Amino acid sequence: MPTMTEDLLDHSRPGPFTRFRAEQSATMDGLPDDPVGICAAVHSLFIQPFDAVPLGIPEERMAERNIRPASDLVDRLTALDPAPLHRTRTPEERVVGTCRHWAILACALLRARGIPARARCGFGTYFEAGRGFDHWITEYWKSEERRWVRVDVEHLDKDHVEHPEDLAPGEFLTGGEAWTRYRAGLIDPQTFGVPGTDHAWGPAEISGNTVRDLAALGGREMLPWDEWGRMTEAYDGLTGPEYDDLLDAVAEACAGQDPAALTRLLGHRDLAVPADMAGG
């Protein structure tokens, strides 16, 4: 019988944050069958806080960006509008969220259809030339081509890249991919960080997203501002070579998708998501 970790590494199975309740299945009626169609349906379900404020969406609704489980996102969506998820919603009827919300709901719906999928945390390199912006996307497994397809669910209607439904190599870098490039001297870490901030740039931002991406691969798709293990120390500049070496191992395991290595790292005391944050 599979262990809990093996279940979480099986990306066709729902995890703690991508599991729906049985009574929510009706909300999925009418969704397309193809992966990109499912992602396109999710595209119109959320609104970023900076777009919500000018529309007069109440300040108290900004807390919706702290919702973790996909099932709770669906609850909130249907409270705003009980229509099935494939129905386009007005901006006021969308949940206030971040790129992580687009990514995780698409991931959850794909898994509900039996399509292996996973949310990835990293950086988009296509928003501004020469910079990597903190971002989340969704991957699904395209069996006939034996590859993971990367979809920028939030920006499917934008022209940042030619094919947001099938991002080209390098257009999105996972945390680990960016970390490996930083350690090899191939990127300037000060050009990677959180847009709209002056301070959240540099190696610590890359290391933070490396840990978040590991957690996401292990079925723990955390919020962009969640911190655990030694992440806060890293942001404060209090970690050193030993932690950097550990992140090298994380980046290698995430790139190689070695179940044994991922399982070991997911349980590491400096990397494991605390039980009170982990859900499920």
pLDDT tens-digit readout, 145-157 = 999 999 999 999 9
Cα–Cα distance for residue pair 106/215, rounded to 1 Å:
17
pLDDT tens-digit readout, 213-257 = 999 999 999 999 999 999 999 999 999 999 999 999 999 999 987
**179: number of Cβ within 10 Å:** 29
Q: Look up residue 132 and give its two tokens.
A: 């990597």
Cα–Cα distance for residue pair 60/44, rounded to 1 Å:
21
Task: Determine the 3-state secondary structure of 177 from DSSP.
Answer: helix
Mean pLDDT of the chain: 94
- Please list, in sequence order, all residues whose beta carbon lies within 8 angstroms of the beta carbon of residue 220, skipping any fewer than 6 positions away: 8, 15, 16, 17, 273, 277, 278, 279
Look at residue 4 and tell me whether its pLDDT is greater than 50. Answer: no
Cα–Cα distance for residue pair 247/263, rounded to 1 Å:
15
Instruction: Give the total residue count for the chain.
Output: 280
pLDDT tens-digit readout, 31-71 = 999 999 999 999 999 999 999 999 999 999 999 999 999 99
Domain chopping of the chain, boundaries: 4-278
Cα–Cα distance for residue pair 225/142, rounded to 1 Å:
31
pLDDT of residue 257: 78
Q: Please return the burial class of 64, using the count of CB atoms within 10 Å of its CB with bins 0-12, 13-18 and 19+.
A: buried
In the chain, % of residues over pLDDT 90:
92
Give the residue from 32, 19, 29, 153 showing the smallest Cα distance to 84: 29
